[in-house]
Chain A
Amino acid sequence: QKEVEQNSGPLSVPEGAIASLNCTYSDRGSQSFFWYRQYSGKSPELIMSIYSNGDKEDGRFTAQLNKASQYVSLLIRDSQPSDSATYLCAVNPSAGGTSYGKLTFGQGTILTVHP
């Protein structure tokens, strides 16, 4: 079982719709969760971080965390063609200690927003 799993997609949504991206993780001790956006040919860009159960909103983005289900999601409201990219879920597998800031990344979900 992969440590961090994402549906590779591609996920295709129409402009203006809500895009829902999902991620599951295997390490129950994980404490920190991140979403990165990566445009083709570019580096990953941090767009959301979440540390507590529940929802965290930032503009059109909402991250949702459910530690009991080992599940984290990213909702993108009012999707735009400029949101078309690969979205990477990343998990810090420990509260600290020797793992420091090491992250385990999922393979990424390709999102396409069509006009």
Chain B
Amino acid sequence: NAGVTQTPKFQVLKTGQSMTLQCAQDMNHNSMYWYRQDPGMGLRLIYYSASEGTTDKGEVPNGYNVSRLNKREFSLRLESAAPSQTSVYFCASSWPYEQYFGPGTRLTVT
């Protein structure tokens, strides 16, 4: 089992560019999550999907959109990247409560 996988591992964007972060899990978990982690700010929830077909905003959703493509896959899209979105992004999955994290994507917006 690969667990939770994320692509890409690293990405550099210019301000205004768009991109999609991909996440997939093979643990048959119902719920999936996107977090960002910044120094001194801890882990902050961007969006989550309690089950296939549903998505909800977390603590910091502005500037992001998500798609729960199927039970395995949950993508995060930045439509117009801003320097404030420079961060490390983690995807996680769970059922019911124990969350397991992917390796992360380190994103820099210049």
Give chain A's interface residues, CB within 8 Å of chain B. 32, 34, 42-46, 49, 88, 90, 92, 96, 98, 100-103, 105-108
Other-chain contact of B96, A42, A46, A98, A100 (Cβ < 8 Å): A100
Interface size class of B (residues with CB under 8 A): 20 to 34
- Assuming the contacts A44-B90, A45-B101, A100-B31, asked whether A88 and B43 have C-beta atoms less than 8 A apart, the reply is yes
Contact with A along B66-101 (1 / 0, CB 8 A): 000000000000000000000000100011111111
> Distance (Å) between the CB of B32 and the closest chain A CB?
9
- Assuming the contacts A88-B43, A101-B95, A101-B96, asked whether A44 and B101 have C-beta atoms less than 8 A apart, the reply is yes
Rounded to whole angstroms, the CA-CA distance of A43 and B99 in the bound complex is 12
Other-chain contact of A106, B42, B98, B104 (Cβ < 8 Å): B42
Contact with A along B25-48 (1 / 0, CB 8 A): 000001101000000101101001
Q: Is the CB of B95 within 8 A of A43?
A: no
Kindly report which residue of chain B lies nearest to residue A33, judged by CB atoms: B97
- Assuming the contacts A32-B97, A106-B42, A107-B42, asked whether A100 and B102 have C-beta atoms less than 8 A apart, the reply is no
Contacts of A45 in B (CB 8 A): 101
Rounded to whole angstroms, the CA-CA distance of A54 and B25 in the bound complex is 33
Known: A46-B98, A101-B97. 11 other contacts (CB 8 A): A43-B102, A44-B43, A45-B101, A46-B99, A100-B31, A101-B31, A101-B33, A101-B99, A102-B33, A103-B97, A107-B40
- B61 beta carbon closer than 8 Å to chain A: no
Q: Is the CB of A100 within 8 A of B90?
A: no
Rounded to whole angstroms, the CA-CA distance of A96 and B65 in the bound complex is 25
Q: Is the CB of B98 within 8 A of A34?
A: yes
